[in-house]
């Protein structure tokens, strides 16, 4: 996973730079999302890894799957990925592209996992505190994990704030072992 993230980063940055310069961030975002879904399909995985399928055939398949979405710049980007055998990175490239887009718009995607469903007022209060802490607008995704016992875990980019009962118990256990 880490290697995939590292390999995808320069491609995501290049795609973002091209899209930003052309003023087509939303179109590239949509194209990358569609291409990522296509690449993730089992049928496409078999074709991508098949030794007898050349770049021309693969590009033809992408044209058929994505249709009009492939403008010249995006098509060239896909060709580069094909040439360097990096098509399988498209889902990660799309994810990093979205992170770059949010960063540009001063938005941060935050994943909040709680032991029980949170009320709207609690979510709004948490969003306000996170906005103050990170200095960005917050887009929040919520999940429920009963194994946390209580509290919550907040993931924002590469930062993790573990305020769960399970996390505190694990910390206590590690401290007692020392």
Q: How confident is the model over 120-158, as pLDDT tens digits?
A: 999 999 999 999 998 889 999 999 999 999 999 999 877
Which domains are present in the chain? 2-102 (1.10.520.20), 107-177 (3.40.30)
pTM across the whole model: 0.69
For position 90, what pLDDT does the model report?
96
**Angle of CA points 51, 10, 100, to nearest 5°:** 125
Separation of CA 8 from chain center: 11
Under 8 Å between Cβ of 102 and 139: yes
Separation of CA 31 from chain center: 14
Round to whole Å and give the CA distance between 81 and 59: 11
- Looking at the DSSP bridge assignments, the partners of residue 164 are 151
Q: How confident is the model at residue 93 (pLDDT cuts 50, 70, 90)?
A: very high
Per-residue pLDDT tens over the stretch 33-58: 999 999 998 888 888 888 888 888 88
Q: How confident is the model at residue 68 (pLDDT cuts 50, 70, 90)?
A: low
Find the mean pLDDT for residues 52-70.
Answer: 81
Find the mean pLDDT for residues 69-89.
Answer: 89
> What token pair was written down for 43?
């049928």
Round to whole Å and give the CA distance between 11 and 85: 12
Round to whole Å and give the CA distance between 150 and 30: 38
């Amino acid at each position: 996973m880490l290697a995939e993230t590292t390999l995808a980063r320069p491609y995501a940055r290049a795609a973002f730079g091209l899209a930003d310069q052309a003023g087509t961030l939303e179109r590239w975002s949509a194209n990358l999302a569609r291409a990522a879904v296509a690449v993730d399909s089992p049928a496409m995985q078999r074709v991508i890894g098949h030794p007898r399928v050349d770049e021309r055939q693969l590009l033809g398949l992408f044209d058929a799957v994505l249709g009009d979405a492939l403008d010249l710049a995006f098509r060239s980007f896909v060709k580069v990925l094909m040439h360097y055998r990096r098509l399988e990175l498209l889902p990660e490239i799309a994810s990093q592209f979205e992170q770059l887009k949010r960063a540009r718009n001063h938005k941060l995607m935050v994943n909040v996992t709680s032991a029980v469903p949170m009320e709207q007022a609690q979510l709004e209060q948490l969003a306000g505190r996170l906005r103050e802490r990170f200095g960005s607008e917050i887009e929040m995704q919520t999940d429920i994990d009963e194994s946390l016992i209580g509290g919550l875990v907040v993931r924002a980019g590469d930062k993790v704030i573990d305020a769960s009962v399970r996390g505190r118990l694990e910390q206590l256990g590690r401290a007692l072992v020392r």
